[in-house]
Structure 1
């Protein structure tokens, strides 16, 4: 079934990848990764352009997945996807929503789980779009760059490289989040202390 869907979308080229990436962020059960790789094997010179089209399609579909979650809740996910994926993603969200989205961009858990969960758990939409843009750009363009520079030989490298990106890139992004929060908290504490100091200053 997966191969039949990919074969069908391949016939539409760039538009097929756009539609697949758009639907992948909403509820479509097959990740756009497969269509991107398949089309990149056919025309490696267009791999970066394919990555761009897939990335844009994914970002445009993200708010729709979000509002589906907001309106219908995460119960819709259980009808189409594996329970273990949904439970894992929910646990990640409960610990740290931003980290969940970044990690979700690289894990085998379909990305629509994170867009719909964001809506159902009232995670801010703008944050979802920002962190989805970072994570999905890395994944789409890493695959695109591989095929652009190595041609059809990149097909055998894709899974290994995406694993290395996950093992190296995700920790770097998480450290960045940690530092952002740490310095943000320090700034808030400093502002609060300054506010208290001003309140305690005797008026003339």
Structure 2
């Protein structure tokens, strides 16, 4: 039996509940600024519960995430010391702050796109993009492309494979979380070593 089965069952139940779409939008928005839980964990069961609305749910994730990203960008731009640095400290990236600056100076939109696609905390990307004065339109375009690809890829897989994805998740949810964790760690290493 999966160690995370109770959490997965809760997500399946929440996916069918009234107001789930609103919760998805809130999670997508707040994850772009400070919340540690990725919206994918809610998007997957919701799209499975309403497969015909998978792309609509992905669009809600994208728009909410982008709006949160804009808030994160301007928090970083105007209030990095007061609001952004505590979040950077929380994720243990304070000593990497200057390395992230070099990463942005070197890779610009690619840095934003990598964070948008991977489990690298997108909130760190949004805050530092503002703090390091990344061109706002470059930030928006890279965010739309990377976050859109991520959310719509999930929706597409669910739309195409439906219940097979659910059965896979029910049997292998621990493995999925381990893979997400490994990808997250790899993302932190990318921030550390890509200069």
Normalised TM-score (structure 2): 0.70
Instruction: Give the one of 123, 138, 142 matched to 2:149.
Output: 138
Deviation at 1:23, TM superposition (A): 1.1
Which stretch shows the higher mean deviation, 137-146 or 89-98? 89-98
Residues 7-59 of structure 1: CA deviation (Å, up to 9, x unaligned): 59744221111111111111111111111112123222221111111111111
Contact 1:26–1:65 (CA under 8 A) maintained in structure 2: yes
Change (3 A) 1:51 1:86: farther
Higher relative CO (CA 8 A, sep ≥ 6), structure 1 or 2? Answer: 2
What's 1:97 paired with? 108
> Equivalent residue of 1:136, what SS?
helix
Q: Report if the CA contact (8 A) 2:88-2:94 is conserved.
A: no
Aligned to 1:28: 35
Shift of 1:77: 2.2
CA distance in structure 2 between the aligned counterparts of 1:90 and 1:33, rounded to whole angstroms: 28
Q: 2:88 aligns with which of 75, 78, 82?
A: 78
The Cα of 1:75 is off from its aligned counterpart by: 1.4
Shift of 1:91: 5.0
Gaps of 5+ in 2: 1-6, 184-195
- Judge conservation of contact 1:89–1:113 (CA < 8 Å) in 2: no
How far apart in 2 are the matches of 1:85 and 1:109?
A: 16
- Residues 1-204 of structure 1: pairs in structure 2 closer than 5 A: 3=7, 7=11, 10=15, 11=17, 12-73=19-80, 74-83=84-93, 89-90=100-101, 92-155=103-166, 156=168
Q: Root-mean-square deviation (CA), in Å?
A: 3.1
- Change in Cα spacing, 1:85 to 1:27, as seen in structure 2 (3 Å) is farther
Change (3 A) 1:99 1:112: same
Q: Separation in 2 of the partners of 1:136 and 1:27?
A: 16
SS in structure 2 opposite 1:67? helix
Length-normalised TM-score, structure 1:
0.67
Q: Which has the larger radius of gyration?
A: 1
Moved segments of 4+, more than 6 Å: none
